Every structure is written in C-alpha cells, then in structure tokens.
Structure 1
C-alpha cells in the first residue's frame, strides 16, 4: 500500500495503523445490534519512523489516548456507517500528527519601554484622582 501523506515532508505507512471494528452504543434500533460500525484505530507511535520531536509532541497532545507502550488509540462511533467512522478516525489521526509537527516559537521576554511605563503610571494616577473625587470630604 502507498504511504499516507501527512505533511509535505512526513508520511505514514498504513502498516503502522491497526483498525478493529466493534458494535456502537446508543440509538440506532436493531441495526446497531447486527453491525460493527464503531472503529478503534491503534497507531504505534514508538515504532513509527516519525521524527523524535514529533513523537514527543504527539505524546503530549494525545494525553490519556497514548498507552505506556507508545500506542495511540482513537475511537469513532458517531455515525451508523462504518465507512464514515473509519474516515473520521483516520482524519483525526492525521490532524493530530499535523498539529504535532507545528513547532511553537519560544517567547522572548522584553522590557517595557520608558514611554509605556510612564503612560501606565499616568493612567493609574488618573484613575486614583477619579476615585478620590468620589470620596466624602474629610473635615479636619
């Protein structure tokens, strides 16, 4: 099978994806009792050839959906159709991997300018003057 493209530089091998099908819960009448429409997808992140930084970020994003062995588990049972659930769970996997590839820039702390500090202090003095004007006059 052909590899599944995730981004321009990353693609995943379909052999790393394992899908199983079970019965969905919820409404659906007797049809639900006879069809395995829920999809359980397992993706072995630890053994995949994704870049190490993507694996680490994927583990952070997945949270409890990631097992200790490095297997990501996703489930879809929103539709009565197994085909729709299968497409949904695969798209969720690809979206999660795409999000893991985004590198977050670290914030560089900056100092406030002298003008902004002056504006802040002047605004505080102005608010103080307004509030002090609301007080009852003190008779000494």
Structure 2
C-alpha cells in the first residue's frame, strides 16, 4: 500500500514494477544483474480521486506520457530493492508535487511606519552621498 495522504492511498497492484538491466559503468555486475527498476503507473486506470487524476492528466511533466502513464526508471543504486524504493518515492513525490494546491496570496499594503522608515533611510543615504563631493576651502 502506497500512502499519498491521510485519505488517499494506492494499492500495490496499480503500480507495475519491472526489473531491467542498468546502463553505464559497473563492469560484469551491470551486465549480469537486473538491478534497475522500470515503474509504470496508469493514471486513468488508478483508484485515485477524480481531482487527482484531473490535475495529473492536465499537468505538463516529463515523466507523464501522452497516454496518461507515469514512467519512472531508477538505476542509481546497485541494489534492486533500493532502486525499487527510490522509484516509489519518486512516484509519490511527483503525485504530491502536481496535486498540491497553491495558497492564494492576499495582497497587502506597506504600513505608515514602514514607509517613514524607508524615506528616512533614503534621506540619510542622500546626505551621506552629498558629503562625498569636492571639499571647498573657505577663506577667512
């Protein structure tokens, strides 16, 4: 059972996990052992709530195919189990990231005191810069 929130979870059979051979360096081990994980999650066929499905299907993300399938390949670790955990963690983070609701920002105005502080600091900087001019000698 994959838990996304208190109310939303996925059954293990909704996620298709396949072990494949990893790419890259690793010598003989990489050529013999299938340690990389290829994870596929069909959004449309899942038991996610409609709101989640709608948000995921309308999102533009490199892991979501045009068919509405999330495809993740994990091969960072030498162990198949660690790659499986990494792929599942990435699936959960993608779903949470794309279904998170952004808080509406309330526009506020600066307070009178903050305006006065800003103007006072501008006046102080102005006077400091005015003193940087040429020094005039007065004849006495």
TM-score interval (norm. to shorter): 0.7 to 0.9
Whether 2:20 is the aligned partner of 1:22: answer yes
Root-mean-square deviation (Å): 2.5
How far is 1:61 from its partner?
7.4
The equivalent residue for 1:32 is 30
Larger Rg: 2
The equivalent residue for 1:111 is 109
Whether 2:6 is the aligned partner of 1:8: answer yes
How far is 1:13 from its partner?
2.1
Q: Which has a greater percent of helix?
A: 1
How far is 1:111 from its partner?
1.0
Matched residues in 2 for 1:126 and 1:111: separation? 24
1:70-89 to 2 correspondences below 5 Å: 70-89=68-87
Structure 1 unaligned runs (5+)?
A: none
Structure 2 unaligned runs (5+)?
A: none
Matched residues in 2 for 1:52 and 1:105: separation? 21
Residues paired across the two proteins, number? 137
TM-score, with length taken from structure 1: 0.81
Whether the aligned pair in 2 keeps the contact of 1:62 and 1:72 (CA below 8 Å) is no
Correspondence for 1:122 among 115, 120, 123: 120
TM-score, with length taken from structure 2: 0.81
